[in-house]
């Protein structure tokens, strides 16, 4: 188990981050709307380079026309594309969704597999999507390394300058207790959207992690030096 091999100092930092984010976002959950596994697969594919809010609007129309996995599997990719186009990359997303639903129908008997490696065999499903499914739907250990996760764990100092999603995931398995991974990653998304933002200056002044965050401490030290030099 990778957690047993992790850096003890970083594990201690991770434990504190987990606890503080739990207090800050006690009800954090996946922000894609779904009520079964195949709908989450569709939603996470559409969410690539698109906001969850827009995806949630688009899938309402999609599921109104194709209410079951079997009906969606029978649809032509062009028909799906006409609905999902507002999410961007409509052609490739529609093609993946169509192929994915058909594979679930034909290979897995209409049931989304609960095994990580089997999920990776589905068209359009990568490690991030597979982790989201096994964690949120099947309650298994999972670490979802989306852009918020990667940005925040680097800023906090849990990983050091690693940007490649799989490498970040492997490092986090060493630091995050398996039962905490899924909720931890959802809370990173909330915190990344509300406080530790990407396109604006992070709001360190109201961050619950500012006193233990490597980036916040560096920024505060630089401000102190600038103030003393004036």
For the chain, 230 residues long, give each residue's pLDDT as a single digit of tens.
677 788 999 999 999 999 999 999 999 999 999 999 999 999 999 999 999 999 999 999 999 999 999 999 999 999 999 999 999 999 999 999 999 999 999 999 999 999 999 999 999 999 999 999 999 999 999 999 999 999 999 999 999 999 999 999 999 999 999 999 999 999 999 999 999 999 889 999 999 999 999 999 775 545 433 443 44
3-state SS string for 144-182? CCCHHHHHHHHHHCCCCCCCCHHHHHHHHHCCCCHHHHH
Query: 61 near 79, Cβ under 8 Å?
Result: no
- The predicted pLDDT at position 217 comes to 76
- The predicted pLDDT at position 230 comes to 43
Report the first-to-last Cα separation within the chain, whole angstroms.
52
- The predicted pLDDT at position 199 comes to 85
Q: Would you call 227 a catalytic residue per the annotation? A: no
Distances from the Cα of 141 to the Cα of 25, 35, 150, 186, 205, angstroms: 20, 20, 18, 13, 33
Give the SS3 label for residue 36: coil
Of 96, 146, 174, 183, which one is the catalytic site residue? 146
Of 10, 39, 128, 174, which one is the catalytic site residue? 128
In whole angstroms, give the CA distance from residue 142 to residue 176: 10
Domains defined along the chain, listed by start: 2-25+144-222 (1.10.1670.10), 37-137 (1.10.340.30)
Query: 137 near 37, Cβ under 8 Å?
Result: yes
Query: 186 near 47, Cβ under 8 Å?
Result: no
Cα angle at 29 between 24 and 31, to 5 degrees? 115
Q: Would you call 12 a catalytic residue per the annotation? A: no
- The predicted pLDDT at position 200 comes to 85
């Amino acid at each position: 188990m990778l957690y047993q091999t992790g850096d003890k100092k970083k594990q201690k930092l991770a434990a504190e981050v987990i606890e503080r984010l739990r207090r800050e976002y006690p009800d954090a959950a996946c922000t894609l709307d779904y009520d079964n596994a195949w709908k989450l697969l569709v939603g996470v594919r559409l969410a690539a380079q698109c906001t969850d809010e827009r995806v949630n609007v688009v899938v309402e129309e999609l599921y109104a026309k194709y209410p079951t996995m079997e009906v969606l599997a029978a649809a032509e990719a062009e028909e799906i594309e006409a609905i999902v186009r507002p999410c961007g990359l409509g052609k490739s997303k529609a093609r993946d969704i169509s192929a994915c639903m058909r594979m679930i129908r034909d290979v897995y008997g209409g049931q989304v597999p609960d095994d990580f490696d089997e999920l990776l065999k589905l068209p359009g499903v990568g490690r991030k999507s597979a982790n989201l499914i096994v964690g949120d739907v099947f309650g298994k250990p999972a670490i979802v390394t989306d852009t918020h996760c990667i940005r925040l764990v680097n800023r906090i100092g849990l990983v050091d300058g690693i940007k490649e999603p799989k490498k970040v995931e492997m490092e986090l398995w060493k630091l995050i207790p398996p039962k905490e991974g899924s909720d931890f990653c959802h809370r990173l998304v909330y915190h990344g959207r509300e406080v530790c933002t990407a396109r604006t200056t992070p709001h360190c002044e109201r961050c619950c992690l500012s006193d233990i965050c490597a980036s916040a401490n560096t920024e505060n030290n630089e401000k102190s030096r600038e103030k003393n030099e004036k």
